[in-house]
Amino acid sequence: MIIDLRSDTVTKPTKGMLDAMLSAEVGDDVYKEDPSINALEKRLAKMFGVDEALFFPTGSMANQAALKLHTNPGEQVICDKYAHIYNYEGGGASFNSGISCKLIDGHRGMFTAKQAEEAINPPDFYHSPLTSLIAIENTTNKGGGACWDFDELKRIREVANKHNLGYHLDGARLWNAFIAKNENPKQYGELFDTISVCLSKGLGCPVGSVLLGKKELMKGALRVRKILGGGMRQVGYLAAAGLYALDNHIERLNEDHKKAKEIGDVLSKLSFIKTVEPIETNIVIFELNNNINEIDFLNQLKEKNILIIGMGSNKLRMVTHLDYDNNKHEILLDILNKL
């Protein structure tokens, strides 16, 4: 048995989800005739209280489409130095939208409204790129699953309004923030111009993200998705997985969070571990003492059938998820305690 904690993307559809997929009603979504996709998009739009929702095969494509909808070539997006759109989307911001990123040196992937405002280039200073968008991530991936303070997000909204900037939320793990902070989709739908949410991370779907937003912006989304190669046909099989996940896999994220905290407690007692970052959701990031070699440590765990990932500079990451059950959890804690 392998205990795979590399990411919450390694989950496989449950029996219930597969049954829902097999009985999905489908049609050609390029003609907007797939009833299951239409139902999923409608449900998410309603859930977040926004005008429009559009299904995407991946979170990266949903984010990339959002960047394109908010910007023109040559312009600039403000984001944290840890941002997924900057670090992990293959340079898509420049490739697809011809824009640059102004990086904020934040804390655990989060920054303040003051930092955001200071990062804006003066619009009449034509030597520098025109700032047109602020993008944030909740929870933060590279920041270790940290959750934003909602009041700070509101203050950033005010900055965006004052300077006439768009405001995008990369919500790949927004569900985890809802559960950890007892927040709800409507408060986010109200605050942001566009939001991407992922169905295949904590929620356990094989594929799928959804971009949500206001009508004025989203009217171009279908064309942008098509240009990015994201026109899909009988994709309702995937929508059925999404609908099933919304019904069955949100509340249970609590369990992932609890397990992550318990892993953190054990790790923090191990003498060769320097620090464990605060654990708010399902991501555990910890740093080994300088005299411990990261690759050796990863291999040592691998020999015990435990997979985790290195994040560079002696930092390692574990992510709990739907397929990491109580049995695996007990085995893992036992092995860690004996290291």
Residue placing its CB nearer to ligand PLP in the complex, 62 or 116: 62
CB of 141 to ligand PLP, least distance (A): 4
Residues 236-255, one symbol each (x = binds ligand PLP by CB under 6 A, - = not), give --------------------
* Signed CA dihedral, 257, 170, 175, 59: sign only: negative
In 3D, which of 116, 109, 99, 138 has the Cα closest to residue 281?
138
* Signed CA dihedral, 239, 250, 11, 282: sign only: positive
165 C-beta neighbours (distance < 10 Å), count: 21
Question: Which of 4, 48, 59, 238 forms a contact with ligand PLP (CB under 6 A)?
Answer: 59
Q: How far apart are CA 44 and CA 52, in angstroms?
A: 9
Q: How far apart are CA 223 and CA 142, in angstroms?
A: 31
Residue placing its CB nearer to ligand PLP in the complex, 63 or 97: 63
Distances (CA, A) of 227 to 60, 61, 209, 224, 265: 14, 11, 17, 5, 47
Residue placing its CB nearer to ligand PLP in the complex, 71 or 196: 196
Residues 183-212, one symbol each (x = binds ligand PLP by CB under 6 A, - = not), give ---------------x--x-------x---
**Per CB under 6 A, which region of 59-67, 100-108, 222-230, 311-319 contacts ligand PLP?**
59-67
Q: How far apart are CA 193 and CA 255, in angstroms?
A: 31
Q: Per CB under 6 A, does 170 bind ligand PLP?
A: yes
Confirm if 86 and 187 have CB atoms less than 8 A apart: no
Encoded tokens for 242? 């999404």
Q: How far apart are CA 319 and CA 229, in angstroms?
A: 30
CB of 265 to ligand PLP, least distance (A): 24
Q: Per CB under 6 A, does 143 bind ligand PLP?
A: no
Question: Which of 36, 58, 131, 281 forms a contact with ligand PLP (CB under 6 A)?
Answer: 58
Q: Which of residues 268-327 bind ligand PLP (CB under 6 A)?
A: none
The residues near 232 (Cβ < 8 Å, ≥ 6 apart) are 29, 30, 55, 57
Residue placing its CB nearer to ligand PLP in the complex, 4 or 170: 170
Burial (CB < 10 A; 0-12, 13-18, 19+), residue 73, is exposed
Residue placing its CB nearer to ligand PLP in the complex, 143 or 288: 143
Q: How many residues bind ligand PLP (CB under 6 A)?
A: 12
**209-213 and 52-56 beta bridge pairing:** antiparallel
Q: Per CB under 6 A, does 137 bind ligand PLP?
A: yes
Rg value, the chain, Cα: 20
**Per CB under 6 A, which region of 32-40, 54-62, 176-184, 317-325 contacts ligand PLP?**
54-62
Question: Which of 11, 36, 60, 96 forms a contact with ligand PLP (CB under 6 A)?
Answer: 60
CB of 259 to ligand PLP, least distance (A): 19
Residue placing its CB nearer to ligand PLP in the complex, 84 or 257: 84
The contact set with ligand PLP (CB under 6 A) reads 58-60, 63, 84, 137, 141, 170, 172, 198, 201, 209
